[in-house]
Amino acid sequence: MSAAAPLTITGGRLVLPFGEPQLGGIRCAGGLITALGAVTAQPGDTVVDAKGKLIAPGLVDLGVFAIDKAAFHFGGITRAALMPDQNPPLDHPARVRFAALSGKPDLWVHPLAAATRGLEGSELAELALMRDAGAKAVATGRRWIGDSGTMHRLLSYCAMLELTVITHAEDAGLTGAAVATAGEMATRYGLPAAPAEAEALAVARDIALAELTGARLHFRQVTTRAALNLVRTAKARGLAVTAGVTPAHFMLSDTAIGDFRTFTKLSPPLRSEADRQAVREALADGTIDVVASGHDPRGPEDKRLPFADAEPGMAGAETLLALTLGLVRDGVIDLARAFALLAANPAALLGVPAGVLGVGREADIALIDPARPWIVNSDKMSASAGNTPFDKQGVEGRVMALFKGGSAVG
């Protein structure tokens, strides 16, 4: 990448960590940002006129289930943290090393090491070796670790290794085979359901163990008022606890599962409208730190099944930016905070020098037209499968150009 000509983008609006976007440009050389603001192109630079569009950091997508480069690039994602739920799982240093190189040069994949062998929740995997092979954090995978003793040992070990533990938060004993949140919708449709409190139970235990061990703990998705309150309180006490969410849980409530739409089958399942509102409040007040796509493309063989038999997950990479910008338009958050949720915070959590526009940072840059309207169409997605719960929905905000390490993508 350092072989590429330096890049100068002019005439844009810079998305900075605080405040409104600033008119200006950006210059990158050697894969890094070298100047911000009133920049002038040097001879030999590749010059791009941003034409008043946003110059924003490339998105850092924390917790994807597949490397789907076309979808990531459509969505302005330059770095993706890959969940260990692969086949075979990322529970071995060699697999981590392979995954870390799998997207280069135009997409950087940050593997998340499987917390336990085979993600089975019992024996610790070789976390230090995986860290040194390129794992940026540790994840429990799609499931919660039910055994409190195992979770305790995991957190204390990761505290020593200075690795953040990313966990799924649903008490497995309470959820059982549930595919929906207990309530009117699940009852009408006759779907196995579990109380929303399964999330708060898991969050409460894991916060207690994080406090005990001093570990950094990130809940990949927190989707209920009760659990968000626990996170809020833990943060107020100064614990190193963070929380994430995907757009599904601030856009949709469980009414969306109507007519057995398997594209809305997610893990954790969609919640009540009251919980959806709680997620939006938590995005506004800073309780939630990360918005991620949870990208999990699934073809008809996984989704064209009765609801309870279908696999959970959605293809979310392409809609991540536009749906988060919807929060800005709705006045829930401002633009700077949107990019903190989408880029700066996940980058900080992974410990990678990206996610903000700053001199010396990696030149991962998205040119974004925040007002450009488009319609989500599951038949015409860049993702390897079109399982979006937002099909036919009109959204605003589109990536016009993307640069990874100062080089144009695509």
Q: Is the peptide bond before 300 cis (omega within 30 degrees of 0)?
A: no
Residue 300 interacts with other proteins (CB under 8 A): yes or no? yes
* Contacts for 205 with CB less than 8 Å, ≥ 6 apart: 148, 151, 171
- The answer to whether 142 touches 136, Cβ cutoff 8 Å, is no
The interface region with other proteins, picked from 26-34, 220-228, 305-313, 366-374 by CB under 8 A, is 305-313
* Runs of H (alpha helix) within 308-388: 320-329, 335-339, 345-350
Distance of closest approach, residue 61 Cβ to other proteins, in angstroms: 23
Residue 184 interacts with other proteins (CB under 8 A): yes or no? yes
Residue 319 interacts with other proteins (CB under 8 A): yes or no? no
- Tell me how far apart the alpha carbons of residues 262 and 157 are, in angstroms, rounded to a whole number: 38
Cβ-based nearer residue to other proteins, 185 or 241: 185
Number of residues that bind other proteins (CB under 8 A): 32
Structure tokens at 201: 């139970």
- Tell me how far apart the alpha carbons of residues 257 and 139 are, in angstroms, rounded to a whole number: 28
Cβ-based nearer residue to other proteins, 162 or 309: 309
Cβ-based nearer residue to other proteins, 98 or 260: 260
Cβ-based nearer residue to other proteins, 360 or 379: 379
The helix/strand/coil state of 144 is: coil
- The answer to whether 224 touches 278, Cβ cutoff 8 Å, is yes
Q: Which of 37, 88, 105, 190 binds other proteins (CB under 8 A)?
A: 190
- The answer to whether 365 touches 16, Cβ cutoff 8 Å, is no
* Runs of H (alpha helix) within 19-126: 69-74, 93-101
Residue 304 interacts with other proteins (CB under 8 A): yes or no? yes
Q: Which of 187, 233, 329, 394 binds other proteins (CB under 8 A)?
A: 187
Residue 191 interacts with other proteins (CB under 8 A): yes or no? yes
Q: Which of 39, 129, 308, 336 binds other proteins (CB under 8 A)?
A: 308
Residue 386 interacts with other proteins (CB under 8 A): yes or no? yes
Q: Which of 64, 127, 151, 193 binds other proteins (CB under 8 A)?
A: 193
E strands within 65-136?
77-82, 108-114
- The answer to whether 195 touches 224, Cβ cutoff 8 Å, is no
Residue 274 interacts with other proteins (CB under 8 A): yes or no? no
The interface region with other proteins, picked from 93-101, 238-246, 301-309, 319-327 by CB under 8 A, is 301-309
* Contacts for 347 with CB less than 8 Å, ≥ 6 apart: 57, 60, 79, 353, 354, 355, 356
Q: Which of 74, 250, 307, 339 binds other proteins (CB under 8 A)?
A: 307
Structure tokens at 337: 């905070």
Residue 391 interacts with other proteins (CB under 8 A): yes or no? yes
The interface region with other proteins, picked from 105-113, 133-141, 198-206, 300-308 by CB under 8 A, is 300-308
The interface region with other proteins, picked from 109-117, 139-147, 177-185, 399-407 by CB under 8 A, is 177-185
Distance of closest approach, residue 306 Cβ to other proteins, in angstroms: 3
Distance of closest approach, residue 175 Cβ to other proteins, in angstroms: 14
Q: Which of 20, 132, 147, 309 binds other proteins (CB under 8 A)?
A: 309
* Contacts for 257 with CB less than 8 Å, ≥ 6 apart: 180, 185, 186, 189, 191, 264, 265, 269, 270, 307
Q: Which of 17, 146, 195, 358 binds other proteins (CB under 8 A)?
A: 195
Cβ-based nearer residue to other proteins, 150 or 264: 264
Residue 393 interacts with other proteins (CB under 8 A): yes or no? no
18 residue type, one letter: F
DSSP-assigned letter for residue 354: -
Q: Which of 34, 86, 242, 262 binds other proteins (CB under 8 A)?
A: 262
- The answer to whether 110 touches 101, Cβ cutoff 8 Å, is no
By the criterion CB under 8 A, which residues form the site for other proteins?
A: 182-193, 195, 258-263, 300-301, 303-309, 378-379, 386, 391
